A and B are shown apart, each in its own frame.
Chain A
Amino acid sequence: MKDNILNEVVKYLIPFIQIFGIYVIFHGHLSPGGGFAGGTIIGVSFILYRIVFGKEYTRKKLNFNKLLRFMTMGVFLYGVLKGYIFISGGNDLHLPLPPLGTPGDILSGGFLLPLNIIVGIIVAVTMYFFYCLFDEGEI
């Protein structure tokens, strides 16, 4: 799509959408929101980028192999972290755990923040792939 006004407006709008998504993810254990809602907002920004700037230009910026590598690394890390929590949770094994911090800070709540970040990455890439598959049948 070639439209100067649309291109300029979207160029300034997309960073704010992504900052809001990152805010929702990073405050997931303190306020409403979390990994799923923030990841959906970041995925919407990718979809907007693809709608406005076209298929070929977006393929260079958001490479399929790179995105798939991000997503599979996220799934692997999620399984490892969540399995570690399940093992070390109530078994009296005294495995090392992250410090809990003071309540109300961003760096608190143990494993909740990294799990929220991983869920956000996976959901954002999945929403972008959904749009590509629905629109053209290929990514």
Chain B
Amino acid sequence: MEIFSIIMLLFLIFSAIAVSAMKDLLGSIIVFMVYSLIMAILWQQLEAPDLAVTEAAVGAGITTVLLIVTLKSVRGLKK
């Protein structure tokens, strides 16, 4: 599973750069959710499945919902 981990690490670095380089705020939040999901897969590859479950629930679920709600309430969403 070495090659799979290396590919996931490359995706992780690419999405981490893309979050800070994007202009659109909503797209940036969605790419941040992708970052969190790839991080959960990597925790599982590092044999820490407990952290993987927590990362998938909190990082990809709750954090994304809270960030999108905050973006809606400060009127950062373009209609």
Residues of A within 8 A of B73 (CB): 134-135
Of A33-41, A59-67, A68-76, A107-115, the segment with at least 4 beta carbons within 8 Å of chain B is A33-41
Asked if B50 contacts A34 (CB within 8 A), the reply is yes
Interface class of chain B by DSSP: helix
Size of the A side of the interface (Cβ < 8 Å), in residues, is 16
Interface class of chain A by DSSP: helix
Q: Does any Cβ of A come within 8 Å of B65's Cβ?
A: yes
Asked if A41 contacts B66 (CB within 8 A), the reply is no
Q: Does any Cβ of B come within 8 Å of A44's Cβ?
A: yes
Asked if B69 contacts A24 (CB within 8 A), the reply is no
Residues A43 and B54 in contact in the complex (CB < 8 Å), given A32-B49, A134-B69: no
Supplied contacts A24-B53, A130-B66, A131-B69, 18 more A-B pairs, CB within 8 Å: A32-B52, A32-B53, A36-B54, A37-B57, A37-B58, A40-B54, A40-B58, A40-B62, A41-B57, A41-B61, A43-B62, A44-B61, A44-B62, A47-B65, A131-B65, A131-B66, A134-B66, A134-B73
